Amino acid sequence: MKKNKNIGPALKNWLKNAFTKNIVLKIVSLIFAMLLWGYVLMTENPQRTKTITNVPISVEGEADLIARKLVLCGNKDHGNVTVKVNTQLTSYSDLSADDITASINLSNITEKGEHELVINTKSATGTAVSTNPDRITIKVDDLVSRAVPIEVRLEGEIPQGYWSGDIIYSRTEVTIEGPAEDVAKISNAVGVLDLSNITDSISKSLLLTLYDNEGGEMDPELFYSKLPSVTVRMEVLPMKTVPIDVDGAIIGADSLPKNYELVGYGVNGTGQVRIIGEQDVLDQIHSIGMEMVDITGSMENITEDVALIIPDGVRLLDDDTVNLHVNIREKNAEELFESVPIDIENLGKKLNASLSIEAADMRISGRISLINAIDRGDVKLYVDLSGLESGTYQVPVEIKLPKEEMMNELIWVLSADTVTVNIH
pLDDT tens, position by position, 320-340: 999 999 999 999 999 999 999
What is the residue-averaged pLDDT of the chain?
90
In Å, what is the CA distance from 283 to each residue of 50, 165, 287, 311? 78, 21, 11, 12
22 Rama sector, left if φ>0, alpha if ψ -120 to 50, beta otherwise: left
- The yes-or-no verdict on residue 179 having pLDDT over 80 is yes
- The yes-or-no verdict on residue 209 having pLDDT over 70 is yes
Q: For residues 109 and 143, what is the distance between their CA atoms, to the nearest angstrom?
A: 14
pLDDT on residue 92 = 85
pLDDT on residue 227 = 79
- The yes-or-no verdict on residue 1 having pLDDT over 50 is no
pLDDT, average across residues 87-112 = 89
Q: How confident is the model at residue 93 (pLDDT cuts 50, 70, 90)?
A: confident
* % of the chain exceeding 90 in pLDDT: 78
Q: What 3 state SS string does the chain have? A: CHHHHCHHHHHHHHHHHHHHCCHHHHHHHHHHHHHHHHHHHHHHCCEEEEEEEEEEEEEECHHHHHHCCEEECCCCCCCEEEEEEEEEHHHHCCCCHHHEEEEEECCCCCCCEEEEEECEEEECCCEEEEEECCEEEEEEEEEEEEEEEEEEEEECCCCCCEEECCCEECCCEEEEEEEHHHHCCEEEEEEEEECCCCCCCEEEEEECEEEECCCCECCHHHCCCCCCEEEEEECEEEEEEEEECCHHHEECHHHCCCCEEEEEEEECCCCEEEEEECHHHHCCCCCEEECCEECCCCCCCEEEEEEEECCCCEEECCCCEEEEEEEEEECEEEEEEEEEEEEEECCCCCCCEEECCCEEEEEEEEEHHHHHCCCHHHCEEEEECCCCCCEEEEEECEEECCCHHHHHHCEEEECCCEEEEEEC
pLDDT on residue 25 = 62
The more confident residue out of 23 and 135 is 135
- The yes-or-no verdict on residue 187 having pLDDT over 70 is yes
The more confident residue out of 126 and 381 is 381
Q: How confident is the model at residue 2 (pLDDT cuts 50, 70, 90)?
A: very low
- pLDDT one-digit tens code per residue, 390-418: 999 999 999 999 999 999 999 999 999 99
pLDDT on residue 9 = 65
pLDDT on residue 94 = 85
Q: How confident is the model at residue 194 (pLDDT cuts 50, 70, 90)?
A: very high
- pLDDT one-digit tens code per residue, 8-65: 666 566 555 655 556 666 666 667 666 665 555 555 557 888 899 999 999 999 999 9
